[in-house]
A and B are shown apart, each in its own frame.
Chain A
Amino acid sequence: MSSCKSDGNSSETPTDKTLKEILTQYVNNTVRITYHNLADASIELEKACETLQSNKTQTNVDSAAHAWVKARKYWESSEAFLFGPATIRGIDPHIDSWPLDKSQLDALLGNATIMANFNADYATNNLNGGLLGFHALEYVLFRDGASRSVSDISDNELKYAVGVAGDLKLQSVTLEADWSGEDNLSAEKQSLLKDKEVTVSENWGDQIMDAGESGSQYKTQKEAILEILQAEKGCRGIADEVGNTKITDPVNSGNVLDVESWYSWNSKYDFQNNIRGVLNSCDGGVDYDNKRDTKLSIISYVKSLDLAEGTKLETAITDAIGEDGKTGIGTIPYPFRNHLNKADTQKAIDACNNLVDVIDEVCVLIQK
């Protein structure tokens, strides 16, 4: 994996500089900000669950459900860059597995010995993906696409939710630390990692930004760009997964249990946020807080190589999202769980596959 630079090539070309700016923009204004917001939202979610536990009101259920949706948006958009820490640490299956293991959950909630001392530490160290993360919390907080009736939620379920939310917070803060460096976290987050003995040894943001330089595992800047675009845990991978697994599998089986986020009916937004993560990755950052700079985007870079191909990539992404409801995922009637058929989903599947094909074309172009 070592770099192969010639000793005589010390001058920086404009292309090198541009790519470094693009990679820096990507790291700071797509990945780091998303994980920062995810961590903050997860902290809010844990607090909302704690508030609900201490004061069981419908308003507090609604607040916790709202906090779940907020955190969920950041997580789903982050699935466009699962390569690196989220994959290496196994955080993706840890916090986002479905279906929920309802039988084991029932057994857990019915176990007085375990529930007497259930907390986030127990969840982190003893439970697995089928009982953790977003879909475990979704089960406690939602039914039929709305926040659950407070009278239906048991005390043990709330205790469980607080523990699972605490584990989700830890995983989210860990991701932020892995990409931004532990020293760049708030004191509260640093304290959490220290308390939970989480070791952060690498700064993945620096790995990407320093591509082609000593110390980075990416021996060229283009290799880093390709990681972002082409990786199974990058843009191509999530576009493929949305079209050919997340949508196709439940359509083929006709089983609502195969649908991601079916308690909250958040599935369609999950899918769109997945592809919005692709847009954030390719178009120079997230589209809020004035963070996006399209001049420093992968799309602009691709356009500099081939204007038509760059435009094609841009169009393929926005078509797949379908903000106006006329294309791609936007055409799936709400809620997805009630429309598990080809007629209602084929445009979305086709748009995702088109995006995969366009990314493949772009990757060939970049490698020439």
Chain B
Amino acid sequence: MRYVFLYRNNKDYEIMKKLFYLLIMFTIAGHLSSCSDKDAGGSPSKPTTDSLAEEWYTGGKLGTSFNETSSAYEESTPVVNNNATYLAEFNHGETFFENVFVTGGSSAGATRTGLGPVYVRNSCISCHPNYGHGKRMERYRADDFGNGYLLVVTDSADNYISSLTAMPQTKAVAPYLPPIEESGIHIVWKDYTDEFGNKFSDGETYSLIYPEVTIDRDAFNVPMPSYYKVRLEATIGIYGTGLVDAIPDDSIRAQFTKESAYSTNVKIGKDITEVDGTTHPARFTYGLTRGTLQNGPGANAMWNITNVTRSNRTYNYITAAYATAMSQNKDVQKALGEDE
């Protein structure tokens, strides 16, 4: 019996530019090696890096590390290891990815402060344990480690509800309220039967399950339309991003041209203009809305998730509807020391 989860995957998994850029070009040589006499007796046939054919270097000689440990996906590659400045930046970026952000206040000035006033998560690792994907959850709680779910709240035409951000927040720094109260979010896993009756041609059966997600109307702290629907997106692992980034633009464009001969709906490799005005073939996000890791919204997920501002991003990831709702909430305003 096999179980398969049906998710709609996260389309916005980009994290921090430097971390992505320096990280994760890697292969697990041991997993690729075939059984041989050398494997007998507990002696691995792992090749050493000074004796490998070029084909072993999936990410190039400077972009491929050889590591079979459980944390292999977290390792830096030779191009980083061989340069003290890169390594220092990698280590610094690693602390941003693996540690929690805090609100600030009396901790102002420390690293990883500025969380809120509303936020989706307080750390990257929370959704990407081991730099991978999130875990299956029975409930939606932002503080549950490994919960990589994002709520997708849309209208009947799949447009995001304008009073909520595309990645709605369920956490808030007091006295503010979150746009959505977690207690009103319900996840129920249901069985699904496909057109094959959940049976392979050889008779073996399998089970399919999917999450049904609902949010109580009174769980919203922003105005909502009469109709809305909710889905879950789930995070994916961030490893491999460096490999995708390393593919030259021309190669992706060539593939786009080749595939476009068969379909008018090819998105991978189609040129897009990014916010800095440069043009690149689309390659990142499920919506294929980003051409590089460096530009525009592609480097913003980390800041959207935590709502931490920075010198060149001095706005909060909130909607005007939310700001208005909080400005008109007497309890919030009273706690802030404001009179009516």
Genuine A/B complex: yes
Q: Which residues of A contact B48 (CB under 8 A)?
A: 364, 367-368
Asked, given contacts A93-B145, A231-B70, whether A249 binds B123 with beta carbons under 8 Å apart, the answer is: no
Instruction: Give the docked Cα–Cα distance between A280 and B323 (Å).
Output: 54
Contact B107–A234 (Cβ < 8 Å)? no
Instruction: Give the docked Cα–Cα distance between A257 and B34 (Å).
Output: 50
Instruction: Give the docked Cα–Cα distance between A276 and B91 (Å).
Output: 22
Minimum CB–CB distance for B289 against chain A, Å: 30
Give the total of B residues in contact with A, Cβ under 8 Å. 57
- The residue of chain A having its C-beta at the shortest distance from the C-beta of B90 within the complex is A244
Asked, given contacts A83-B69, A101-B102, whether A244 binds B91 with beta carbons under 8 Å apart, the answer is: yes
Contact B103–A4 (Cβ < 8 Å)? no
Q: Which of A45-70 contact B (CB under 8 A)?
A: none
Instruction: Give the docked Cα–Cα distance between A364 and B66 (Å).
Output: 10
Contact B95–A100 (Cβ < 8 Å)? no
Q: Which of A17-74 contact B (CB under 8 A)?
A: 19
Contact B143–A93 (Cβ < 8 Å)? no
Name the one of B31, B110, B126 contacting A255, with C-beta atoms under 8 angstroms. Answer: B110
Instruction: Give the docked Cα–Cα distance between A231 and B70 (Å).
Output: 7
Q: Which residues of B contact A248 (CB under 8 A)?
A: 88, 91
Asked, given contacts A9-B41, A220-B43, A367-B46, whether A99 binds B107 with beta carbons under 8 Å apart, the answer is: yes
Question: Is B146 close to A, CB under 8 A?
Answer: yes
Q: Which residues of B contact A97 (CB under 8 A)?
A: 99-100
Contact B107–A257 (Cβ < 8 Å)? yes
Instruction: Give the docked Cα–Cα distance between A238 and B147 (Å).
Output: 26
- The residue of chain A having its C-beta at the shortest distance from the C-beta of B87 within the complex is A244
Q: Which residues of A contact B35 (CB under 8 A)?
A: 4, 6
Question: Is A181 close to B, CB under 8 A?
Answer: no
Question: Is A343 close to B, CB under 8 A?
Answer: no
- The contact string, 1 if C-beta is below 8 Å from chain A, for chain B 71-100, is 100110000000000011001101100111
Contact B105–A106 (Cβ < 8 Å)? yes
Contact B105–A16 (Cβ < 8 Å)? no
Q: Which of B111-140 contact A (CB under 8 A)?
A: 111-113, 115, 122-123, 125-126, 129-130
Q: Which residues of B contact A19 (CB under 8 A)?
A: 42
Q: Which residues of A contact B88 (CB under 8 A)?
A: 244, 248
Give the total of A residues in contact with B, Cβ under 8 Å. 60
Minimum CB–CB distance for B148 against chain A, Å: 12
Instruction: Give the docked Cα–Cα distance between A103 and B125 (Å).
Output: 22
Q: Which residues of A contact B141 (CB under 8 A)?
A: 125
Question: Is A89 close to B, CB under 8 A?
Answer: yes
Q: Which residues of B contact A233 (CB under 8 A)?
A: 70-71
Asked, given contacts A231-B70, A233-B70, A244-B91, whether A93 binds B41 with beta carbons under 8 Å apart, the answer is: no
Name the one of B42, B67, B100 contacting A16, with C-beta atoms under 8 angstroms. Answer: B42
Number of interchain pairs (Cβ within 8 Å): 157
Minimum CB–CB distance for A257 against chain B, Å: 3
Name the one of A1, A90, A102, A227 contacting B145, with C-beta atoms under 8 angstroms. Answer: A90
Asked, given contacts A244-B88, A257-B110, A364-B48, whether A103 binds B103 with beta carbons under 8 Å apart, the answer is: yes
Question: Is B106 close to A, CB under 8 A?
Answer: yes
Asked, given contacts A19-B42, A104-B103, whether A249 binds B70 with beta carbons under 8 Å apart, the answer is: no
Asked, given contacts A6-B37, A226-B69, A232-B71, whether A249 binds B111 with beta carbons under 8 Å apart, the answer is: yes
Instruction: Give the docked Cα–Cα distance between A37 and B256 (Å).
Output: 60
Centre residue among A8, A90, A244, A255 by max chain B CB count within 10 A: A90
Question: Is B32 close to A, CB under 8 A?
Answer: no
Contact A232–B69 (Cβ < 8 Å)? yes
Instruction: Give the docked Cα–Cα distance between A19 and B44 (Å).
Output: 14
- The residue of chain B having its C-beta at the shortest distance from the C-beta of A227 within the complex is B69
Name the one of A8, A130, A240 contacting B102, with C-beta atoms under 8 angstroms. Answer: A130
- The residue of chain A having its C-beta at the shortest distance from the C-beta of B175 within the complex is A107
Minimum CB–CB distance for B175 against chain A, Å: 8
Q: Which residues of A contact B105 (CB under 8 A)?
A: 102-103, 106
Question: Is A5 close to B, CB under 8 A?
Answer: yes
Question: Is B246 close to A, CB under 8 A?
Answer: no
Minimum CB–CB distance for A137 against chain B, Å: 16
Contact A258–B94 (Cβ < 8 Å)? no
Asked, given contacts A83-B70, A93-B145, A103-B104, whether A249 binds B42 with beta carbons under 8 Å apart, the answer is: no
Contact A257–B100 (Cβ < 8 Å)? no
Q: Which residues of B contact A83 (CB under 8 A)?
A: 69-71
Asked, given contacts A93-B145, A232-B75, A233-B71, whether A223 binds B44 with beta carbons under 8 Å apart, the answer is: yes
- The residue of chain B having its C-beta at the shortest distance from the C-beta of A90 within the complex is B145
Instruction: Give the docked Cα–Cα distance between A111 and B175 (Å).
Output: 10
Question: Is A186 close to B, CB under 8 A?
Answer: no
Contact A128–B122 (Cβ < 8 Å)? yes
Question: Is A94 close to B, CB under 8 A?
Answer: yes
Minimum CB–CB distance for A349 against chain B, Å: 11
Question: Is B155 close to A, CB under 8 A?
Answer: no
Asked, given contacts A104-B102, A226-B69, A231-B69, whether A6 binds B39 with beta carbons under 8 Å apart, the answer is: yes
Q: Which of B256-297 contact A (CB under 8 A)?
A: none
Contact A257–B109 (Cβ < 8 Å)? yes
Contact B68–A99 (Cβ < 8 Å)? no
15 example contacts (A-B, Cβ-Cβ < 8 A) are as follows A4-B35, A4-B39, A6-B35, A6-B37, A16-B42, A83-B69, A83-B71, A90-B126, A97-B100, A107-B173, A125-B141, A128-B142, A219-B44, A226-B69, A227-B69
Query: Considering the complex of A and B, which 8 residue pairs feature the smallest CB-CB distances, nearest first?
Result: A90-B145, A103-B105, A257-B110, A232-B71, A4-B35, A101-B102, A231-B69, A9-B40
